[in-house]
Amino acid sequence: MSGPCRLCFKAAKWLPVLFIVTVVVWSYYAYVIQLNLFSIDSIIEKSFYLFVYHILLFLFLWAYWQTIFTEIGRVPKQFRLPPSELERYEAAESDEVRRDILERFTEKNKLPVYNRTMTGDIRYCEKCVQIKPDRSHHCSVCGECVLKLDHHCPWVNNCVAFTNYKFFVLFLGYALIYCLFIAATTLQYFIKSWKNQLGEVSGKFHILFVFFVSIMFAISLVSLFGYHIFLVSKNRSTLESFRAPIFRLSHTWVQDKDGFSLGAYNNFLEVFGDNKKLWFLPVATSLGDGVSYPVRGQQPPSTTTATTTPVQSYGSTQTSLGDGVTYPQRCVDEDTDDLLGSRQRWAEDDEENDLTTGFTNNHTYPLEEVVVQSNHTNPV
Ligand SMILES: [Zn+2]
Ligand SMILES: [Zn+2]
């Protein structure tokens, strides 16, 4: 795409966000000015409505801002094929040779990848020329692979993924409460206005319309919010709910839509972090080290350690537990020790030779013990 076209495309991507902002600004005018200041006589009622309204508006816009402007999680450079490997990969004559190159590269660098393609191969992005970490996918709008990609959302002009998923869910929740509050408090004035009992109020149109619009948005938000709460409880991304991830076991691979599920509460912690006080605020809440995830069979360290561990990798934007690359899974068999061994080694190697990414290897997740289930037997 040429320069001016690219600029136009970039600008056009902001239109849905502009639409949302315009609706919010108009709803502010309709609700605060037309309804509360011009139509409601009772000072107590007016003050109460305005007080609650502004708190909800603030939380809603804060979560929205955070969802839009949080940087997406990018794939660490260890996953990228170096020029020599890339040359071999591109010159390879058959799929078998390419598969072998990827397997060897993964093995050599101890990359913690357990997800596979439908044919059991290592997932590789041709566009980014890198191996895809578990749960990551290529976003065609952003033009790169994104860690734990849920989906690309045009309404926030950003990927909803590992780094901002909590913000997105809060954004949906607060937007829903915001709409419901407006609808509930406008209802009686809507009825009065409908019956022509509101007197000569100039903003009748705005009061009627703000009621309709808030109901309309609430209906669409309630299904979307409900769906994402369901996904959080199951530890699935939207993409994974459409196509279940495939996990490598020692001699085979299985497709398991609940492969990352650690139980509803732990799944919730993985997205919302382990600091209860900050669960409902769109701020960083994770006490993790930015790299390691809780692993079944390993004793979680004490919370004391956790509170002293600095958040890394994503700085102030870190919300979810972990680094977005490795995830605890319930699909385990005799191969587990190997896998966990690789994961551990990978993290240790990072600590030694890749300080540029800020990775360290501390296990800092005070999660409850995870019960391993083994009801996944669908070899592909
Ligand atoms: Zn990619
Ligand atoms: Zn994207």
Flag whether 183 is in a domain: yes
Q: How far apart, in whole angstroms, are the C-alpha atoms of residue 248 and residue 39?
A: 64
Q: Nearest CA to 261 among 232, 297, 301?
A: 232
Same domain, 113 and 64: no
| Listed range (114-123, 138-147, 359-368) with the worst mean pLDDT | 359-368
The pLDDT score that the predictor gives to residue 331 is: 55
Q: Distance, CA 108 to ligand 1 centroid (Å)? A: 21
370: Cβ–Cβ under 8 A, 6 or more apart, which residues? 262, 263, 266, 294, 296, 328, 330
Same domain, 56 and 99: no
Q: Distance, CA 63 to ligand 2 centroid (Å)? A: 18
Same domain, 288 and 350: yes
Same domain, 341 and 250: yes
Flag whether 186 is in a domain: yes
Q: How far apart are the first and last CA of the chain?
A: 40
**Whether 153 is catalytic:** yes
- In this predicted structure, the answer to whether residue 347 has a pLDDT above a threshold of 80 is no
Marked catalytic residue, from 145, 153, 159, 331: 153
218 versus 379: the higher-pLDDT residue is 218
Give me the DSSP letters along 46-102: HHHHHHHHHHHHHHHHHHHHHHHHSPPPBPPGGGBPPHHHHHHHHH-SSHHHHHHHH
Give per-residue pLDDT as tens, 169-179: 999 999 999 99
Q: Distance, CA 208 to ligand 1 centroid (Å)? A: 47
Same domain, 49 and 180: yes
The pLDDT score that the predictor gives to residue 14 is: 95
The pLDDT score that the predictor gives to residue 312 is: 34
Q: Distance, CA 175 to ligand 2 centroid (Å)? A: 22
Q: Is the dihedral of CA 266, 269, 275, 280 positive or negative?
A: negative
- In this predicted structure, the answer to whether residue 289 has a pLDDT above a threshold of 60 is no
Same domain, 185 and 298: no
Flag whether 235 is in a domain: no
Same domain, 191 and 274: no
Give per-residue pLDDT as tens, 76-118: 989 999 999 899 999 988 989 999 999 999 999 988 888 899 8
Q: Which ligand is nearest to the CA of 142?
A: 2
Flag whether 141 is in a domain: no
Enumerate residues with CB within 5 Å of ligand 1 (an ion): 125, 127-128, 138, 145
Q: Distance, CA 68 to ligand 2 centroid (Å)? A: 11
Q: How far apart, in whole angstroms, are the C-alpha atoms of residue 199 and residue 168?
A: 41
Residues 235, 260 contacting (CB under 8 angstroms) = yes
Flag whether 206 is in a domain: yes
123 DSSP assignment = P
Domain count, the chain: 3
Flag whether 140 is in a domain: no
Same domain, 51 and 91: no
338 versus 303: the higher-pLDDT residue is 338
Q: Which ligand is nearest to the CA of 159?
A: 2
Same domain, 281 and 187: no
Q: Distance, CA 380 to ligand 2 centroid (Å)? A: 29
Q: Which ligand is nearest to the CA of 140?
A: 2
Give per-residue pLDDT as tens, 253-267: 888 888 888 889 999
Q: What is the mean pLDDT of residues 353-372?
A: 34
Six-digit token string for 51: 């007080």
Q: The whole model's pTM is what?
A: 0.78
- In this predicted structure, the answer to whether residue 327 has a pLDDT above a threshold of 50 is yes
36 DSSP assignment = I
Residue type (1 letter), 164: N
Enumerate residues with CB within 5 Å of ligand 2 (an ion): 139, 141-142, 152, 159
Same domain, 212 and 353: no
Six-digit token string for 354: 């890749």
Flag whether 21 is in a domain: yes
Q: Distance, CA 49 to ligand 2 centroid (Å)? A: 37
181 DSSP assignment = H
Domain that holds residue 124: 77-132
Give me the chain's average pLDDT, please: 79
The confidence band for 286, taking pLDDT boundaries of 50, 70 and 90, is low
Same domain, 327 and 269: yes
- In this predicted structure, the answer to whether residue 320 has a pLDDT above a threshold of 90 is no
Q: Which ligand is nearest to the CA of 151?
A: 2
286 versus 105: the higher-pLDDT residue is 105
Q: How far apart, in whole angstroms, are the C-alpha atoms of residue 235 and residue 165?
A: 12
17: Cβ–Cβ under 8 A, 6 or more apart, which residues? 68, 155, 156, 157
Q: Is the dihedral of CA 286, 292, 293, 295 positive or negative?
A: negative
- In this predicted structure, the answer to whether residue 338 has a pLDDT above a threshold of 90 is no
249: Cβ–Cβ under 8 A, 6 or more apart, which residues? 331, 333, 335
Nearest-5° Cα angle at 335, 332 to 336: 50
Same domain, 251 and 294: yes
Flag whether 253 is in a domain: yes
